[in-house]
Amino acid sequence: MELAPANDRGFLKGKFKDLYGYDCSIQKSSLATQDCIWLGCKGNRMHLTQDMAAELIPLLQHFVETGDLPDHR
């Protein structure tokens, strides 16, 4: 996925389609109080902090490697 400035303020954005062809994106947030990103599809986006994104990484990595989510036990 290629990242490019999303607006005249230079915040980077990457565009992609989900399984059903919906336009989705990942974009650096302009929030001034802490570093965040926007992730999701138009109208249904998550505003994630660095800590929130860090919690998702192991789950996503496990899914990439196995096609499943980690065992909850």
25: three-class secondary structure by DSSP: strand
Percent above pLDDT 70 for the chain: 99
Q: pLDDT for 51-73, tens place per residue?
A: 999 999 999 999 999 999 999 76
Give percent above pLDDT 90 in the chain. 86
Residues 15 and 44: their CA atoms lie apart, in Å, by 14
Per residue in 8-34, pLDDT tens? 888 999 999 999 999 999 999 999 999
Please state, in angstroms and as integers, the Cα–Cα distance from residue 16 to each residue in 30, 31, 58, 61, following that order: 20, 23, 22, 19
> Which residue(s) pair with 15 in the sheet?
25
pLDDT at 43: 87
Q: Look up the pTM and report it.
A: 0.85
